């Protein structure tokens, strides 16, 4: 019985790491060298050199942090890597620069007005780097002395002696401090810092001078120098928050818990005004810096005329992020109007943007991308199967071919093979239709489907 229970625990522990493979999980960066020249295959990125070079320049512009309110449009056919390039830029920016990603259609599904949704997205993309000076005490522990009350109950009191290479001081300890010293297992010879404002104690490591006290050193003991100079020091801590986070925390109706639920609702204009004023004040005092980040709007043709004109104004605001948009539309109707425009975007907004275009891939690049995807999905594929798959990608679409990798590798596993061969690829090609074969099928058998409109059109034509 006991043995069975032990086995069970083991089983549960096995399942700890779950890795998910997404459409863009193979992308790790733009793959540029120091001179911003794209390497042909690097960091999961293949070809599309002009667009990647342009993205690299934009990235530099963002990193400089001085330029705000620029808009970049990535335009090109479906499946040419627009979303992939934006994801690569996000990776390259690192965690300290805010990057917000949304799809144009998202604004219609939120329980707030469209302009509020856009304002929140914009403010999520602007970081405020706040600098704070805190006073700390840093030194090597010489002695900890705790006096327990004779009765055994009541508050403990004690003394802590700390030293640097130049001085030594004795501090009185309260009950709380004694408890946290015990929790951290601090002992003589440790180097510690104490935050004066909060009383938080952190152990930095053991002093080198105590390196020979074997009994006190564990396998992961870290040795540090005994601090120099004064015991009391000023230390600067920097943390970055977004304007949106400051908004939510300060809007009295929601409070910071809303940050976790995402249920922030609309935020009053007055709150935002006050926060802008406060941030401007901090900037003047040198306490804070603005970090303009990036707002990425995918499928931007889904925005309507109201959103577009709102963006026109928002981009001219001093605290605007760099806005990157992507679309695969040609000349089409602007949502909310009867006018047509390139990419479904009004001309006055297009005029404020620089446009980066992506172009369809050549056979060689398709093969590279498919190869990278095979690696990403842990799928062994024979060389001729990959060649066939590349031809399929060329004739149908890259996305369809990427889908076939997963399915083919499943078929291969079912027949207990360890490498996907041409037969597996043929099998899934016949099992799963691509868009053009499906359309062909519809055209041939349209009579047998419900609500088909082809017939009516034909009838009308005949009449």
Tokens found for residue 398: 């890259």
Closer to ligand ATP by CB, 103 or 280: give it: 103
Which of 368, 367, 334 minimizes the C-alpha distance to 349?
A: 334
Minimum CB separation from ligand ATP for residue 347, in Å?
22
Residues within window 399-428 making contact with ligand ATP, judged by CB under 6 A: 399, 402
DSSP characters over 81-137? SHHHHHHHHHHHH-TTS-EEEEEGGGGGTSSS-HHHHHHHHHHHTEEEEEEEEEEEE
Is residue 207 a contact point for ligand ATP (CB under 6 A)? no
Site string for ligand ATP, 314-353 (x = CB under 6 A): --------------x-------------------------
> Which C-beta is closer to ligand ATP: that of 81 or that of 227?
81
Piece in contact with ligand ATP (CB under 6 A), picked from 44-52, 61-69, 106-114, 179-187: 44-52
- Whose tokens are 């690097």? That residue is 42
Asked if 396 and 435 count as a contact pair (C-beta separation under 8 A), the reply is: yes
Q: Does 267 bind ligand ATP (CB under 6 A)?
A: no
Under the binding rule (CB under 6 A), the answer on residue 397 touching ligand ATP is no
Of the candidate residues 54, 58, 62, 80, the single one contacting ligand ATP (CB under 6 A): 80
Helix (H) or strand (E) holding 220: none
CA distance 49 to 246: 39
CB of 417 to ligand ATP, least distance (A): 25
What's the maximum distance between 2 C-alpha atoms anywhere in the chain? 109
Cα–Cα distance, 3 to 134 (Å, whole number): 54
Residues forming contacts to Mg ion in the complex (CB under 5 A) are: 83
CA dihedral 296, 301, 307, 309 (to 10 degrees): 100
Count of residues near ligand ATP by CB under 6 A: 21
In order of 177, 300, 453, 457, the CA distances from 460 in angstroms are 88, 36, 11, 5
| Interatomic CA distance for residues 283 and 262, integer angstroms | 28
Q: With CB under 6 A as the contact rule, which of the stretches 46-54, 245-253, 313-321, 451-459 interacts with ligand ATP?
A: 46-54
Whether the Cβ atoms of residue 104 and residue 298 lie closer than 8 Å to each other: yes
Binding of residue 398 to ligand ATP (CB under 6 A): yes
Question: Per CB under 6 A, does 84 bind ligand ATP?
Answer: yes
User: Does 367 sit near ligand ATP (CB under 6 A)?
Assistant: no
Q: How far apart are alpha carbons 134 and 136 in whole angstroms?
A: 6
Kindly tell me which of 278 and 399 has the beta carbon lying closer to ligand ATP. 399
Q: By Cβ distance, which residue is nearest to Mg ion?
A: 83
Q: Which stretch binds ligand ATP (CB under 6 A): 57-65, 73-81, 106-114, 286-294?
A: 73-81
The CB-nearest residue to ligand ATP is 81
Pick 83 or 101: Cβ nearer Mg ion: 83
Q: Considering only 135-143, 174-182, 306-314, 396-404, which stretch makes contact with ligand ATP by CB under 6 A?
A: 396-404
Residue with tokens 């009867």: 338
Binding site for ligand ATP (CB under 6 A): 23-24, 27, 44-48, 76, 78-84, 328, 369, 398-399, 402
């Amino acid at each position: 019985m006991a043995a069975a229970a032990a086995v069970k625990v083991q089983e549960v522990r096995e399942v700890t790491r779950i890795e998910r493979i997404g459409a863009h999980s193979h992308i790790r960066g733009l793959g540029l060298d120091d001179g911003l020249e794209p390497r042909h295959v690097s960091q999961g990125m293949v070809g599309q050199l002009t667009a990647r070079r342009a993205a690299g320049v934009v990235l530099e512009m963002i990193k400089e942090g001085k330029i705000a309110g620029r808009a970049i449009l990535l335009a090109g056919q479906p499946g040419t890597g627009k979303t992939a390039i934006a994801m690569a830029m996000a990776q390259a920016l690192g965690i300290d620069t805010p990057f917000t990603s949304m799809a144009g259609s998202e604004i219609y599904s939120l329980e707030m007005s469209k302009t509020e949704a856009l304002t929140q997205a914009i403010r999520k993309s602007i970081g405020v780097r706040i600098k704070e000076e805190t006073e700390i005490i840093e030194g090597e522990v010489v002695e900890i002395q705790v006096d327990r009350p004779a009765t055994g109950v009541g508050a403990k009191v004690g003394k802590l002696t700390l030293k640097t290479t130049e001085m030594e001081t004795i501090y009185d300890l309260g009950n709380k401090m004694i408890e946290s010293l015990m929790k951290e297992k601090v002992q003589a010879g440790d180097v510690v810092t104490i935050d004066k404002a909060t009383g938080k104690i952190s152990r930095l490591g053991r002093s080198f001078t105590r390196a020979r006290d074997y009994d006190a050193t564990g396998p992961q003991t870290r040795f540090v120098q005994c601090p120099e100079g004064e015991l009391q020091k000023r230390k600067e801590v920097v943390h970055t928050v977004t304007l949106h986070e400051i908004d939510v925390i300060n809007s009295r109706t929601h409070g910071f818990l809303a940050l976790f639920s995402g249920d922030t609702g609309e935020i009053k204009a007055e709150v935002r005004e006050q926060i802008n004023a406060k941030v401007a004040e901090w900037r003047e005092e040198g306490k804070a810096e603005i970090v303009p980040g990036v707002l990425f709007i995918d499928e931007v043709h889904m925005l309507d005329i109201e959103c577009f004109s709102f963006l026109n104004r928002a981009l001219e605001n001093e605290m605007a992020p760099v806005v990157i948009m992507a679309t695969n539309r040609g000349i089409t109707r602007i949502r909310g109007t009867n006018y047509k425009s390139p990419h479904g975007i009004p001309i006055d907004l297009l005029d404020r943007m620089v446009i980066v275009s992506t172009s369809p891939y050549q056979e060689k690049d398709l093969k590279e991308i498919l190869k990278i995807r095979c690696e990403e999905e842990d799928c062994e594929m024979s060389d001729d199967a990959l060649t066939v798959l590349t031809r399929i990608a060329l004739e149908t679409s890259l996305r369809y071919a990427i889908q076939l990798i997963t399915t083919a590798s499943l078929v291969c596993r079912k027949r207990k093979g360890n490498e996907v061969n041409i037969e597996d690829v043929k099998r899934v090609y016949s099992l799963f239709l691509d868009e053009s074969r499906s359309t062909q099928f519809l055209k041939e058998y349209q009579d047998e489907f419900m609500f088909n409109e082809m017939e009516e059109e034909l009838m009308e034509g005949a009449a």
